């Protein structure tokens, strides 16, 4: 039985939103929003390269993180607009937490 992982098709808008919310929630829960936003802003031009680096690292990180989660993260990084969405979600969640 082969494990099927979707690496090629672009993410649907609802998938992008769900993945971005999940990542943003983890970042905000750990109070790492400032370094995360800084890192995402500075590396936004290299987002596609980062998505390919995630694929290269997949054999090593998939047993810990999960293969489909790594594939989804790679597909999220492939589009620069998704990085901006992720930054906005992090900032929104941080603002909600701080009241």
The pLDDT of residue 1 is above 70: no
Half-sphere exposure of 39 (CA within 13 A, CB side): 9
> Residue 32 falls within a domain, yes or no?
yes
| pTM recorded for the entire structure | 0.86
Three-class SS of 44-64: HHHHHHHHHHHHHHHHHHHHH
Q: Which residue has the tokens 């790492």?
A: 32
- Which DSSP state fits 8? S
Instruction: Tell me the residue range of the domain where 42 lies.
Output: 13-98
For the four alpha carbons of 41, 43, 46 and 52, in that order, the dihedral sign comes to negative
Q: What is the pLDDT of residues 39-80, one digit of tens each?
A: 999 999 999 999 999 999 999 999 999 888 999 999 999 999
> Residue 2 falls within a domain, yes or no?
no
Residue of 2 and 12 predicted with greater confidence: 12
Q: How far apart are CA 94 and CA 99, in angstroms?
A: 9
Q: Domains in the chain: how many in total?
A: 1
Q: What is the pLDDT of residues 13-31, one digit of tens each?
A: 999 999 999 999 999 999 9
Instruction: Give pLDDT, residue 74.
Output: 92
> Residue 8 falls within a domain, yes or no?
no
């Amino acid at each position: 039985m082969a494990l099927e992982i979707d690496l090629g098709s672009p993410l649907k808008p609802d998938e992008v939103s769900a993945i971005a919310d999940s990542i943003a929630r983890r970042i905000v829960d750990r109070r790492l929003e400032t370094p995360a936003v800084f890192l995402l802003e500075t590396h936004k031009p290299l987002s596609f390269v980062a998505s390919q680096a995630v694929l290269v690292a997949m054999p090593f990180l998939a047993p810990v993180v999960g293969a489909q989660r790594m594939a989804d993260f790679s597909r999220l990084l492939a589009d620069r607009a998704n990085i901006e969405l992720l930054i906005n979600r992090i900032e929104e969640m941080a603002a909600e937490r701080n009241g």
